[in-house]
Amino acid sequence: MATVALTLFPAGRTLQVDPGVTILAAAHAAGVDIEATCGGRGRCTSCRVKFAAGIVPPPTIMDELQLGDALVREGYRLSCQCRVTDPITVHASPPVDDQSFQILGAERPSLPVRIDAGVTKTLVHVSLPTEEHHQTSDLEALLAVVGGTPSDCAPDVVRTLPQALREHGGEATVASFGSRILSVEPGDTHLLAFGLAVDVGTTSVVTSLMELASGEQLASVSSLNPQAVFGGDLMSRIAFAQFDAGNLRKLQTRIIGLLNQHIEQVCRDSGVLAKWIYKVAIVGNTCMHHMLLGIDPSYVGLAPYAPVMRHPLTLAARELYLKVNPEARVCLLPIVAGFVGADAVGVALATRMDESSEIRIAVDIGTNGEVLLGSREHLWACSAPAGPALEGAQIRHGMRAALGAIDRVSFDGRDLTLHTIGEAAAQGICGSGLIDAIAVLLDAGVIDWTGLIDLDHLDRLPLALAARVIKRGDERAVILARPGEHGATQELLLTQDDVRQVQLCKGAIASGAAMLQRIAGVPEDKVAELMLAGGFGNYLSIASAIRIGLIPAVPESKVRYVGNAALLGAQLALLSETERQHAEQIARRIEHVSLAAHPDFQDVFVDCMNFPRP
């Protein structure tokens, strides 16, 4: 695999490093000193670097925790967490910008996110009654040490007491959440406390295992949502569940089954036992939320699209049959409206939009994406049902961003140039490749502004490119790869239908952003920052996204990848009860804009379906 250039200041050295190595490891290997007080575990800020050139990668949760959102937005990262994938230039241990600390200081005292997961584990020694005339019980003996009342201890925990209090002669570790006793474990296990952050998307589900005391991510896993066999988009999934308890149960069982597979896997990967997982924070859109809870989403799919519940819900893991500690607190973030769910709240929480003095836009790209716009003055949100095209579904040779996916497409003046993930043999095309391909073909004049693959002006094209534009029967298409090209074993096409699917998708997102801008009265030049969220967002070419009109035409420098911000929001809620409570305030502050009900929407949507004219 090719090496990547990493330029380090103040040393002024450029290193050729293997992709995937952390900046800290690369620097140390080359003898460049970067201080790492915590030993490179993401527990301090000493190894921070500031990006001077190159694509700034999405922050990790450790970046957010240690550096705070303000520094993160200015391009600071922890070099121990940040892996080199593209050519970059960074300053090691830069002086912290005074102003940013002022902003930080004004809005959040000391560290921006203090770990405060709400779960405590305490080693206790319980004296069990030895004489018969003592009128007491195991539970009372425990409460005499840890305090609280019998109702703080669920019957499931009471059941474990006889053994837990005797196995190590009364030495036991009590896990609690507030006053509630979650678990009583024989012996000393007080260092073992973990949690899960989960993003249940319409198409993808991501689970992240974290150590609650340090905030360190120990493992993570991502899969397709297995409900997809019952419908790729929300509406078809709602139709499947509609008024049919059996089908609803199937959907619920599928997603819970998947989460339990995830739990098994992250536990296996990390060596953590599932019983040590005491808290789970979950985000997801309203439908995913309802289906996970087994709540009939029928009316979410019918005007006025009211959710059945919106409040932040905390329940015991056993109530959801999640195979972590049965008493673990499962916290679902709150919901704003039928199509602006807990995932949007997670994005707002992670991006600190509600604390921003300037207007920012967050676009969460996903099958059921959302657009948020606003500042600390006001927050608006709308749904942006992009559909699964950018995740490779409903595209002739579409695939997820996996090995062999065409993820970048460019034009060298003569012909298309492709890049595949892992530089493996081309298997299909993923979302970033689709957007690149369409941007390139728009520029080349192969696709016109209405989205039509233009067969009438092939003579203006270089021969190699012109040879790729075909019509078979009634179908227009562009041949991305012929058998043998880039290792492809079959012809890989971008069809006219594929272009239409992308148009629908980008139309949904672009019209959402356009409508919010219109309602809030915010033209492009008033937008201080455009944040691309969603696992997918990371790999997107910003230039291409602007070229096809997926995102508003702001200067590229104002666009920032924020990674899977919904998941990041769940991670914040997992690690900090303060953040979790803040999510509730955010949910109450967000004003939901119902696009379909707006008189301008049809025009805006039709307009946004088209591509921007050059």
Which positions touch a second copy (CB under 8 A)?
Answer: 128-140, 150-151, 155, 158-159, 161-163, 166, 293-296, 298-299, 303-311, 313, 315, 319, 335-337, 591-592, 594, 596-597
Residue 581's H or E segment, with its range, is: helix 577-589
Between 46 and 137, whose beta carbon lies closer to a second copy?
Answer: 137
Q: Is 335 helix (H, G, I), strand (E, B) or coil?
A: coil
In whole angstroms, how close is the CB of 552 to a second copy at the nearest point?
Answer: 24
Note the helical H segments in 457-550: 463-466, 496-520, 542-548
310 with 587: CB under 8 angstroms?
yes
Residue 337 is given by DSSP the state B
3-state SS class at 517: helix
Shortest approach of a second copy to residue 256 CB, angstroms? 13
Q: Which of 218, 147, 216, 138 is nearest to 176 (CA)?
A: 147
Identity of the residue, 247 or 270, whose beta carbon is nearer to a second copy in the bound complex: 247
Residue pair 593/516 in contact by the 8 Å Cβ criterion: yes
CB of 487 to a second copy, least distance (A): 50
Question: Given the complex with a second copy, which of 485 and 591 has the nearer CB atom?
Answer: 591
Minimum CB–partner distance for residue 344 and a second copy (Å): 13
Structure tokens at 283: 């985000």
Closest approach of a second copy to the CB of residue 88, in Å = 43
Cα(165)–Cα(179) distance, rounded to whole angstroms? Answer: 19
Pairs from 218-223 (Cβ < 8 Å, separation ≥ 24):
218/194, 218/266, 218/269, 218/270, 218/272, 219/265, 219/266, 219/267, 219/269, 219/270, 219/272, 220/266, 221/262, 221/265, 221/266, 221/269, 222/535, 223/258, 223/261, 223/262
- Indicate the residue among 41 and 318 with the shorter CB distance to a second copy: 318
Pick the closer one to a second copy by CB: 381 or 481: 381
Task: Compute the distance between CA of residue 478 and CA of residue 444 in angstroms, rounded to an integer.
Answer: 12
Closest separation between CB of residue 142 and a second copy, Å? 10
Nearest residue (CB) to a second copy, 65 versus 153: 153
Q: Report the residue number, 91 or 310, with the smaller CB distance to a second copy.
A: 310
Query: Least Å distance between CB 316 and a second copy?
Result: 10
Tokens representing 130 are 């030895």
Nearer to a second copy among residue 32 and residue 291 (C-beta): 291
User: CB of 367: closest distance to a second copy in angstroms?
Assistant: 21
In 557-573, which positions are buried (b, 16+ CB within 10 angstroms) versus exposed (e)?
ebbbbbbbbbbbbbbbb
Q: Residue 242 Cβ, how far from a second copy at the closest point, in Å? A: 11
Q: Using H for helix, E for strand and C for coil, what is the string for 123-189?
A: EEECCCCCCCCCCCCHHHHHHHHHCCCHHHECHHHHCCHHHHHHHCCCEEEEEEECCEEEEEEECCC
> For residues 133 and 472, which CB has a smaller minimum distance to a second copy in the complex?
133
